[in-house]
Structure 1
Amino acid sequence: MTSHRSDLKGIARRAMVERGLLPDFSAAAMAELAHIQRAATDQQSPLRDLTSLLWASIDNDDSRDLDQLTVAELQPDRSVKILVAIADVDALVTKDSALDAHARHNTTSVYTAGELFPMLPEQLSTDLTSLGEGQDRLAVVVEMVIAEDGAVLRSALFRALVLNHAKLAYNSVAAWLSGTGPAPERISAVSGLEAQLRLQDQVAQRLKARRHQQGALSLETLEPRAVFDGEVLTAVRVDQKNRAKELIEDFMIAANQATASYLKGKGVPSFRRILRSPERWQRIVEVAARWGEPLPGEPDARALETFLVKRRQADPVRFPDLSLAIVKLIGRGEYVLDQSKDRAPEHFGLAVKGYTHSTAPNRRFPDLITQRLVKAALAGTSTPYRPDELKYLAGHCTEKEDDAERVERQLRKSAAALLLESRIGQRFDAIVTGASDKGTWVRLLDPPVEGKLGGITRGLDVGDTVNVELISTNVERGYIDFSRVGA
């Protein structure tokens, strides 16, 4: 019997090894895990008991590695206090332990169509260090007071005991918020949660509006996901952005900024997540010029955002194709060590300065590093990482994140190759997503899969639209080859 899932699992494990990632935990790590029987408690440190607040999680339908909870409190002056609780993973995964060594090596969970390779064993990440519904859990809380115009008036960090009152999913919450679906059962079951989430949604929209006024980019890329019927791959579907995802995204961006600000205020060297000014800005200018939109000669996030907003309004169906082209031209984010006391490094795409990663310590090692730095600063103890160690880890985390993304991308392509195996010779509309000395790459508009374009590609660049014919597929390598029609 055909088992596409099993085939993809084998490919995923081989791709992990090829990229220098560890698909399995060491015997030492599993021995450590065997001694961890329950969630962490802390009798020594001062903890706030915030279990009575209406905390809830919003994540993917099938997610169990829950890293954060949110809650909002309306203030007398119409500002709103937003609290983000982040799972205290460090309480069970100590620095330099065997479990930490695995997390430090891979630096991230790797999500593939064949198999999930968690950064931490699932007994931890989906249970003992997860903010699961109905469980008292230790957390690092980021508290922010947000003005009516979306400005963050002040922020603070502290440790607390929290309780998830409702595990919610993006799609059903988004449908309810936008008025296209009923309130999810868990929202209706918890008194006061409906009003609580509507308040959070209002504040998130204010934060988002303010960031975009300052030049944050309205990008909407497609995220293809393999769909199975049992063990058989049946489709590749795109996960769309929605209001609930934006709610969490906007709160996490604000929490990450507040965390970076806290560490800077304490004089602690720490990670920053940056996106440098685009090297291929001139090509972005050329892409915008096709629609009669002039952009300045030097990189300008606000001008680019104005162009993106116009294009989304003019052609929402094809906007993700433009977004993908712009994302490729802007380049990739990276981790750097920030020891400066004055000017914070910038994130071009988010239009923020002094930004870090702190809100997903079950899934990303940089967030676990940041959590340890925060906890040491809160306790007034010595910093757990030397500056030279942090500098090395910043480069290492960037490199391994790239490796993990290559594995995920290869498996998306392997799944796509499986789906297209029987369609050799068919023609498709496509958009150019990459053009360099190494080759030219295109993504089909339907199904949303990417492959290499052979034959005559002279004159093509990112953002161009072409008609292509499917020539061959290689499921093992994730290769999909097209030729240009009518070149």
Structure 2
Amino acid sequence: MPSKAELLAFIAARGGDIGKRDIARAFGLGADQKLELKALLQELDADGAVDRRRRKVHVPGALPGVVLADITSRDADGEFIAVPVEWNEEEHGEAPRILVQVPRRTRGPAPGLSDRVLLRMADGPQDGRYVGRVIKVLEKARRQQLGIYRAAPQGGGRIIPIDKKNLGRELQVPPGAEQDAADGDLVSVELMRQRVFGLPTARVKEKLGSLSSEKAISLVAIHAHGIPHVFPQNALAEADKAKPVKAAGREDWRGVPLVTIDPPDAKDHDDAVHAVRDEDPANPGGFIVTVAIADVAAYVTPGSALDREAVLRGNSVYFPDRVVPMLPERISNDLCSLRPLEDRPALAVRMVIGGDGRKKSHTFHRILMRSAAKLAYAQAQAAMDGQPDETTSPLLADVLRPLYAAYACVKKARDARQPLDLNLPERKILLKPDGTVDKVIVPARLDAHRLIEEFMILANVAAAETLEAKRTPLVYRVHDGPTLEKLANLRTFLLTIDIKLPKSDTVRPSNFNRILEEVDGTDVAPLVNQVILRSQSQAEYASDNYGHFGLNLRRYAHFTSPIRRYADLIVHRGLVRAHGFGKDGLSEETMPDELAEIAAAISVTERRAMAAERETVDRLIAHHLADQIGATFGARISGATRAGLFVALDETGADGFIPASTLGADYYRFDETRQALVGDRTGEMHRIGDRVEVKLVEAAPVAGALRFELLSEGAYLGGGRGKSRPPRGMPKRGKFGGRPGGTSEGPPRGPREGSRPAKAARKGRRQT
């Protein structure tokens, strides 16, 4: 028989929750000794050393074998830390911290901060703390309720919501519940017991930052979407300890005049290009195009602290006033950035292009390179247009002209392939030194942009083809075609403007391009571009390949931006493994199921980044226009719903809303076929793409919301319920008529996801 001390130690070491049969088996006790064991356990129970619950023995203050816990924080290594839900601090002191282990292969959603999880505990504490393995995520955390705290003179204050959906729904913070929050602080709150009358009350949970500081606008989006923006110490330590990669084991390409061509404000340069005419007589008119990509895999190895943080972030997030990088600056802006005249490791693909612009063959190489120059798009274009500067002049003959000649060749194949060619102008916000909006511009679309884009697409295709041929797992960039329902709706809409789409259930990008060419230069061109955009599916990452509809490619994988996208890092590791380039490639144990989980996770982080970037732009422009209440603007209707119209201003591209109840004394219904609001009595129609004049009547900068009044009249439908012109005496624009609350078909609703015309363009040139 074990002694009492041995028995207590054993129960605690087994997680503190164990049955009598388990104890007997562990100590090899026979049937005649079980009565003695029972008596011993009763003595321990009487002494208060153990609790007996449902035939289980539990040591007070110890954790059972399976624990219900809440994930509350991260440790210095970036690992999740949880605390048990049921814990009596009065009896047992502070709740133990549990290191959460996430299985590499799990079913269901991945755990995150504030989630409730079921954990299987390891046997006893390890290195002074408990370790629990996730069995299941039971409850995903609700999105934080965030707002701006406005202090009241008598104590307490109010919370101004940052979400457009909660505009006008302020919360009251009673005195003593403000947690030292100062006026203007961004805070997270929790609702308190509500009263029958008055504003809902809330308690401040956490101060997240001050809106009086620089970069405050993007801070709102970062916290609203839960974007990790502070690197754990162990990841920073790994980055600081990293040393420049040497030439050993690599091909020396430092003599190849590769150049980077990026936006003028770019800080990380992850791709460089080079082209020469192919001297092979068997390839007349052909070129050899080289694309070299920063070798992030040499610094960020599988399972490292940097790797764990990178997969958590999924991608870098780009705001007008800051960047939240996927990797620390020591890696992204220094060791991996292809700076001019500095040695840098890279993965390069050398592609042989035929005279018809099609890729004939390609090879991958792990190299050491030295960029010959850092160029901006406009700088490279100016050189080709006859205005070289001191940097581009020496490169013009041997570097830039061959690059442009190779692009002209590649463009033949692109035009024959006919990828989807939407005309969606991309606006860019320029800020003043104080972080406020200076102006909004539409950068010119240059051949320099198209050159880089086409070379990157070629390199991405080459990576996917190579990994498939080598039977190496990879993450594809996939884009499904429009659904049958969306095609049917699009076909019906196009008929309203006398355009026919083939009735086949299978369409190709060329079908859409033909329509876009037909309307190019007409008044309906913006309308058609927007409606075709909305009919498309959303691109994503997947471990199974179903092609890329928009690019009209059978196989496609992101390879060209590993500094800012985790998907590209996975592809790099696959290429390292497939070619035997080193020991830092994709692990042999990596399974398709694991890659499927990673693909799903980084697809979510990509959508999260897009939403955060879009909301930040909305908030910046709303701040910019807040002092222009009453001003009139030219705009174009960008969306229509039962609740009202969405408009985009011509000058800034700012998005705003016109409630249906303010359109006039008529009663407006949403016509889905025409994508318009149509008046019941007058037949007056306001549809997507119409040019209008609007007046700004309200701005909510914190939420990024603008409300306008429509000053223009719409077109008038004849026949049916509509009349050819408005009845005599009916007020025109500027009168707040109609039925309160929107239309008869339901209360006002927010914009549908995807209702912003420039959504795809805002992804950047390499988010295709």
TM-score (norm 1): 0.89
Distance 1:100 1:466, change over 3 A: same
Paired residues for 1:315-464 under 5 Å: 315=522, 322-338=528-544, 344-379=545-580, 383-384=586-587, 385-435=590-640, 440-456=645-661, 458-459=670-671, 460-461=675-676, 463-464=688-689
Secondary structure of 1:223's match? Answer: coil
Measured in 1, the distance between the counterparts of 2:490 and 2:633 equals 25
56, 66, 72: which one aligns with 2:259:
56
CA distance in 1, matches of 2:659, 2:312: 36
Q: Mapping of 1:292-303 within 5 angstroms? A: 292-297=498-503, 298=505, 299-303=507-511
Cα 1:310–1:7 change in 2 (3 A) is farther
- In the alignment of these two chains, the number of paired residues is 470
- The equivalent position to 2:360 in structure 1, one of 139, 153, 156, is 153
The 8 Å contact of residues 454 and 484 in structure 1, kept in 2 or not, is answered as no
Q: Structure 2 CA distance, aligned partners of 1:318 and 1:331?
A: 23
Are the structure 2 counterparts of residues 135 and 224 from structure 1 closer, same or farther at C-alpha, using a change threshold of 3 Å? same
| Alpha-carbon distance in structure 1 between the residues aligned to 2:699 and 2:572 | 44
**Paired position in structure 2 for 1:11:** 217
Shift of 1:481: 2.3
- How far, CA to CA, are the matches of 1:94 and 1:358 in structure 2? 17
CA distance in 1 between partners of 2:412 and 2:530 (Å): 22
Q: Which residue of 1 aligns with 2:515?
A: 307
Of the three residues 250, 260, 276, the one matched with 2:464 is: 260
Question: How big is the shift at 1:176?
Answer: 3.2
CA distance in 1, matches of 2:390, 2:497: 46
Residues 6/162 of structure 1: CA separation in 2 closer, same or farther (3 Å cut) = farther
How many angstroms does 1:174 deviate by?
2.2
Is the partner of 1:174 in helix, strand or coil?
helix
Q: Residues 434, 272 of structure 1: CA spacing in aligned structure 2 closer, same or farther, 3 A cutoff? A: farther
In structure 1, C-alpha distance between the alignment counterparts of 2:315 and 2:268, rounded to whole Å: 13
Matched residue, 2:335: 128
**Residue 476, structure 1, aligned to residue 702, structure 2:** yes
- For residues 213 and 5 of structure 1, do their structure 2 counterparts lie closer, same or farther at Cα, with a shift above 3 Å needed? farther
Pair 1:5–1:323, CA change in 2 (3 A): farther
Kept in 2, the 8 Å contact 1:425–1:469? The answer is yes
- Is there any run of 5+ residues in structure 2 with no aligned partner, and where? 1-209, 662-667, 677-686, 715-768
Letter in 2 for 1:174: Q
1:388-436, CA deviations, whole angstroms, 9 ceiling, x for partnerless residues?
A: 1110011111111000001100111111112211222333343343445
CA distance, structure 2, for counterparts of residue 469 and residue 403 of structure 1: 32
Partners in 2 of 1:363 and 1:240 — Cα distance? Answer: 24
Compared with structure 1, are the counterparts of its residues 329 and 427 closer, same or farther at alpha carbon in structure 2 (3 Å cutoff)?
farther
* Distance of 1:319 and 1:202 partners within structure 2: 32
Contact 2:319 2:613 in 1 (8 A): yes
Equivalent residue number for residue 465 of structure 1: 690
1:274–1:184: structure 2 CA closer, same or farther, 3 Å change rule? Answer: farther
Distance 1:305 1:229 in 2: 39
CA distance in 2, matches of 1:431, 1:29: 47
Give the direction of change, closer, same or farther, for the CA distance of 1:182–1:5 in structure 2 (3 Å limit): farther
Structure with the largest fraction of helix:
1
Secondary structure, in 3 states, of the residue corresponding to 2:442?
A: strand
Aligned with 2:481 (options 256, 260, 277): 277
**Structure 1 match to 2:415:** 212
Structure 1 residue 7 displacement after superposition: 5.8
Matched residue, 1:69: 272
CA drift at 1:287: 5.5
Letter in 2 for 1:453: I
Distance 2:212 2:598 in 1: 34
Aligned counterparts, 1:36-51, within 5 A = 36=242, 38-41=243-246, 43=248, 45=249, 47-51=250-254
Which has the higher Rg, Structure 1 or Structure 2?
2
Distance in 2 (CA, whole Å) between partners of 1:249 and 1:475 is 35
Q: Is the 8 A contact 1:68 1:85 kept in 2?
A: yes
Alignment map for 1:139-218 (pairs within 5 Å): 139-177=346-384, 179=385, 182-190=387-395, 193-218=396-421
Structure 1 residues 199 and 308: CA distance shift in structure 2, 3 A: farther
Deviation at residue 175 of structure 1 after TM alignment: 3.2
Moved more, 253-262 or 230-239: 230-239
Distance (Å, rounded) in 2 between the aligned partners of 1:318 and 1:194: 43
Matched residue SS, 1:218: coil
Report deviation, 1:304.
0.9
Q: Distance in 2 between matches of 1:284 and 1:185?
A: 52
Query: In the alignment, is the contact (CA less than 8 A) between 2:475 and 2:599 conserved in 1?
Result: yes
Calculate the aligned-residue CA RMSD, in Å.
2.6
**Closer, same or farther: CA 42–52 of 1 in aligned 2, 3 Å:** closer
Q: Is the 8 A contact 1:173 1:184 kept in 2?
A: no
**Offset, 1:211:** 2.2
**Unpaired runs of at least 5, structure 1:** 339-343
Write the letter of the residue equivalent to 2:508. Answer: D
Letter in 2 for 1:138: P
* Secondary structure class of the residue paired with 2:274: strand
**Paired residue for 2:229, among 23, 27, 38?**
23
> Are the structure 2 counterparts of residues 252 and 300 from structure 1 closer, same or farther at C-alpha, using a change threshold of 3 Å?
same
Give the Cα separation in 2 of the matches to 1:435 and 1:206. Answer: 42
AA at the equivalent of 1:114: D
Distance 1:445 1:122, change over 3 A: same
CA contact 1:288–1:307 (8 Å) conserved in 2: no
Q: Which whole-Å CA distance do the structure 2 matches of 1:319 and 1:185 have between them?
A: 42
Cα distance in structure 2, aligned partners of 1:320 and 1:74: 40
In 1, Cα distance between the equivalents of 2:644 and 2:311? Answer: 33
Query: 1:291-335: per-residue Cα shift (whole Å, max 9, x none)?
Result: 6432212333112112223434x35x9856653443233132111
Task: Tell me if structure 1 keeps the 8 A contact 2:645–2:660.
Answer: no
1:376 offset after TM fit, Å? 1.1
Distance 1:311 1:210, change over 3 A: farther
Out of 297-306 and 102-111, give the one that drifted further.
297-306
**Greater shift after overlay, 14-23 or 399-408?**
14-23
Cα gap change, 1:17/1:55 in structure 2, threshold over 3 Å: closer, same or farther? same
In structure 2, what is the equivalent of residue 341 of structure 1?
none
Q: 2:304 aligns with which of 76, 93, 97?
A: 97
Q: Distance in 1 between matches of 2:230 and 2:408?
A: 41
Structure 1 residues 376 and 42 mapped into 2: Cα distance closer, same or farther (>3 Å)? farther
| Alpha-carbon distance between aligned partners in 2 of 1:419 and 1:479, rounded to the nearest angstrom | 12
Q: Percent identity?
A: 29
1:255 Cα deviation after fit: 0.5
CA offset digits 1:81-115 (Å, max 9, x no partner): 10100100111112222222222111111111232
User: Which residues in structure 2 correspond to 1:82-121 (within 5 Å)?
Assistant: 82-121=289-328
Q: Give the drift of 1:233.
A: 2.1
